[in-house]
Structure 1
Amino acid sequence: MQFGPQIAGRISRSRIWKMIKYFLYFFLGFKAASSFPLPTNNTQCYINNPAVQRFREYVQIDTSKPENLEKAVAFWSRQAVELGLVFEVHRSEGLPIGVMTWPGVDPSLPSIMLNSHMDVVPVDEEFWKYPPYSAHMEDNGNIYGRGTQDCKDVTIQYVEAIRRLKNNNVTLKRTVHVTLMPDEETGGFNGMAKFVKRIEFKQLNVGFAFDEGLASPDENMLLTYQDKRPWQIKITVKGLGGHGSSLSDGSAVQKLQRIMDAIGKYRDSQKKISNEQSIPDAGAYDSVNINIIKTGIAENVMPEKGYLVVDIRLAVSKSVDEMQQLVDSWIAEGGNGTEAKYLRRVEVSDATPTDLSRPYMQAIQEAAKEMNISIVPVLCPAASDMIILRSLGIPALGFAPKTYTPSRIHTSNEYLNAGTLLRGIDVYVNLLQKLGNLNKL
């Protein structure tokens, strides 16, 4: 984790321990965090709660399939009608981008953008304890389903916070836009990347943005101010084919193996750097994983072609040239007939300042103090649509008030506790009032 300069100089022993717990939770997964306390309220406390019901309905839409995005759009269109808000749908390459707008008293002021994405990553149902789009709720209030943490929860929290404020006749100086992107999980190429170039985005007059955030293993709520740069590369090899009984050299599998060995060796070196951090710092190393390997046409045929996809998130200090040289060395391991294609290559990821001279940070910390909660700025070890907004100079922070929650993002048995969901709505109610009434962001 990398903290803003105003925080780095004031780290206490307790804060260091909390950071270490966060590191264990995020990078070692559920088992490392399973001992942390979780809400244990009975499901009867939640089952008839309208916000919980809407959350479960949203999770039940399988938006891993692009064609189901229209069902999500219809869901949000209904919510907008109920709230008396304008809902617009813009389309890019056939994909819908939703924008729900709550006008402020002074629409000339730059607006607040509450961003999230409708799409979710695919699932392998074999590893789920409940059907992944059932939104099954256990007796303790844990709701299981793909998207419960990434990131259908935060969208519900945005809109339910607006619902509560409107029901209480609260008005804000600034206009609030809830934006719903269609393809963040696949890079945002046809969603955020194209939307920010359109006149419809410029007309939103965005001055500050929230987006999806990280779950936390303890009482701290995490505020991400910078994303690591994602590089995703498809490396294709061609080699000698033949009968499955052959021991000839130069096969596609052998070439893939050499490349995988080189990548694995580098991954081990980055894992060592990670383990040696006295204070966990996700920006100090590259994360490297081979996420797809494909080759072969039959059980008794040596394949002549194969490919792998490697997913890299660059360290903050890693130069583009240095990383490119490393990738070139992996390609060289494959020899003749090896090609590389970038599926995603982000060279710059700006940071949003989190020092307390910023009015938006003052508002966030004031809200946290009023609610007796701790909001801690951290570097995001992954990537989000905020990379694009920050590149435009818009202050953008990832935030999801998910405390005492083991991260299940992109893995099986993703869940969120209903009590955690509802508490997050309380937090956003306070944050929106503070940020939405600032004279200056």
Structure 2
Amino acid sequence: MKIFYSLFGLILYLSLWTEAQETENLAVSNLQKYIQIRTEQPHPDYTSAVEFLKQLATEIGLETQLLELVPGKPIFLAWLRGSNESRSTILLNSHMDVVPVELEGWSKDPFAATMEGDKIYGRGTQDMKSVTIQYFEALRNLIQQGWKPDQTILLSVVPDEEIGGAEGMGVFVESEEFKKWNISFELDEGLANPQSFMWLYYGERQPWWLSIGAMDQPVHGATLPNHTAIQYLYEIEQKVVEFRKQQEEKVSQGIPLGDVIGINLVYLRSGVTKDNHSYVMNMVPGIAELGLDIRVPPTRKHSEEMNQILSDWLSCPPITSQWSGTCSHYYYKFIHKVDIPQVTSTDPVENRYYQVIEQVFNELSISYQTAIFPASTDARYLREKNIPCFGFSPIHSTPVLLHDNDEYIPKDIFLKGIPIYERLIQALSTLDSQATPNDNSIPKDITHSMSSTPHEEL
């Protein structure tokens, strides 16, 4: 009889182990299939991505809807309906598009989803196709366990996040379709972390994309003018470099990247061309231009500081509300500027969603830190609607490789993220918010929560 029970136990163990392996293999396979769909900007294959997502959602047992608020920019929705439809909706957001690749920098095919050792390589493995698949697989597991939510769980997979999101999440939050969902909370993307803890982002730096041009008279290359457009632009470059060094020093002193103003020179343009190919070598150009990617922490103090710095550099009157202008020898134009400082409260008394996340992380012995996201995500569109949001990607002990060559995610890190989302979804869906979001979840004094706070593993 002992032998019988021992054999029965072994068979049961092997059966459960095999089932777990099949579940893991399915999740990895779905991630690889999704990576293999080329959704890189500027020509993403959204059609194939939507077909894949719809098939996946239907297979799991989710209801689906396809919106096309902007032609050629589909928004895919999938949801697990809550038992009480009068309650608000929990939103899990991700984006379909990925950034372009520079093939010469990759040792693997960025769209083959190659598995080498424990690493899954490919564009989007960190940003953010892995999170999309984790959402779906977490819901698959919960449904198979017979779990039913009190509140509806909505998954949105949107286009164009990598180019600003205006025609993706930007138009979605302004639509009547969005209002129907009565969304009270959103989870969005975070970042990988080479250290052993995970990041939880409660706000993000605001992108200011700015072109600055210098103007002067074009002259013959054989002359020696006292000033030229390129010289005027060089003065701006020097100021940018000096300011950047000051910000680098702050980071080296331990101030989190999300709490300092970031600035990078992204292009330089000048010269007189013939046939838009070669340059005319005996002409000094009358126009020279540069582009800046500026990232401003989400406080009024930082916005005012950066506006004043730009005014001083350009010898302009205050440019707080101006998108373009001409001053002295310069002209400027903001290509994109977000200047609505907004963060989500990390006070567990003030924000019950944060309280629940904190409880789940403690329950799972997850070590984490809160911070300002150093770049920007679609969450900003929801924060502007006073909907509390957190950015989170369960990727630790992994170098940050979004937008980088040889982007990858370790297989075990990817798989361990799925049960984390299972617990988060279960816990968040028990919070009943009958009507509009709790305005208190967005702190009125946004400067008090700017520092990163460590939360040690229990």
Q: Give the structure-1-normalised TM-score.
A: 0.83
- Residues 1:329 and 2:330 aligned together: no
C-alpha distance in structure 2 between counterparts of 1:230 and 1:110, whole Å: 30
Q: Distance in 2 between the 1:415 and 1:328 partners? A: 42
Q: Which residue of 2 aligns with 1:27?
A: none
Amino acid at match of 1:219: S
Aligned twin of 2:82: 104
Structure 2: tracts of 5 or more residues without a match: 1-20, 317-325, 439-458
The answer (yes or no) to whether the contact 1:128–1:413 under 8 Å persists in 2 is yes
Is 1:282 the counterpart of 2:257 in the alignment? yes
What is the CA–CA distance in structure 2 between the aligned matches of 1:243 and 1:411, rounded to whole Å?
Answer: 42
More displaced 10-residue stretch of structure 1: 345-354 or 394-403: 345-354
1:362, CA displacement in angstroms?
2.9
Q: Counterpart in 1 of 2:194? A: 217
**Alpha-carbon shift at residue 207 of structure 1 (Å):** 0.9
Bigger CA drift: 238-247 or 65-74?
A: 238-247
Shift of 1:409: 1.7
CA deviation after TM superposition for structure 1 residue 86, in Å: 2.0
User: 1:432 and 1:47, CA in 2 relative to 1: closer, same or farther beyond 3 A?
Assistant: closer
Task: Report if the CA contact (8 A) 2:97-2:162 is conserved.
Answer: yes
SS at match of 1:413: coil
Residues in 1 aligned to 2:296 and 2:195: alpha-carbon distance in whole angstroms: 27
The aligned residue for residue 24 of structure 1 is none
Matched, 1:293 2:268: yes
User: 2: CA distance between counterparts of 1:423 and 1:201?
Assistant: 31
User: Residue 58 in 1 paired to residue 40 in 2?
Assistant: no
SS at match of 1:49: helix
RMSD: 2.4
The 1:252/1:75 distance shift into structure 2, 3 A limit, reads farther
Give the aligned partner of residue 456 of structure 2.
Answer: none
**AA aligned opposite 1:313:** R
CA contact (8 A) 1:46 1:418 kept: no
- State the SS of the aligned residue for 1:400: coil
Aligned to 1:128: 106
CA–CA distance in 2 between the matches of 1:291 and 1:213?
24
CA contact (8 A) 1:352 1:390 kept: yes
2:286 and 2:112 map into 1 onto residues whose CA distance is 42
Equivalent residue for 2:123? 146
Q: Deviations over 1:318-352 (max 9, x none)?
A: 34343222223333499755321111211123111
Per-residue deviation, 1:236 = 2.8
Contact 1:365–1:375 (CA<8 Å) still a contact in 2?
no
Residue 247 of structure 2 corresponds to 270
Decide whether the 8 Å contact of 1:282 with 1:315 is kept in 2. Answer: no
Counterpart contact for 1:105–1:173, Cα < 8 Å: yes
Correspondence 1:96-245 to 2 at 5 A: 96-139=74-117, 141-241=118-218
**Inter-partner Cα distance in structure 1 for 2:269 and 2:48:** 33
- 1:78 maps onto 2:78 in alignment: no
Q: Distance in 2 between matches of 1:183 and 1:428?
A: 24
Q: Which has the higher contact order (CA 8 A, sep 6+)?
A: 1
1:312 aligns with 2:288: no
1:420 to partner: Cα distance: 0.8
CA gap of 1:304–1:136, structure 2 versus 1, over 3 A, is farther
| One-letter amino acid of the structure 1 residue matched with residue 135 of structure 2 | Y
Q: Deviations over 1:258-284 (max 9, x none)?
A: 22111111111222222234xx33354
Opposite residue 372 of structure 1, the aligned amino acid is S
Contact 1:283 1:316 survives alignment (8 Å)? no
Name the stretch that deviates more: 378-387 or 247-256: 247-256
TM-score in terms of structure 2 length: 0.80
SS at 2:45 equivalent: helix
The letter for the 2-side match of 1:307 is E
**Aligned pair count?**
394
What amino acid maps onto 2:334 in structure 1?
Answer: Y
Larger Rg: 2
Return the match for 2:368 from 363, 368, 375: 375
* Distance in 2, Cα, partners of 1:57 & 1:187: 26
Instruction: Work out the percentage of aligned pairs sharing the same amino acid.
Output: 35
- Does the CA-based 8 Å contact 1:87-1:101 persist in structure 2? yes
Q: Give the stretch that moved more between structures: 382-391 or 207-216.
A: 382-391
| Aligned-partner SS, 1:112 | strand
Q: 377, 380, 389: which is aligned to 1:384?
A: 377
Aligned: 1:254 with 2:231: yes
Asked whether the equivalents of residues 349 and 387 of structure 1 are also in contact (C-alpha less than 8 Å), the reply is no
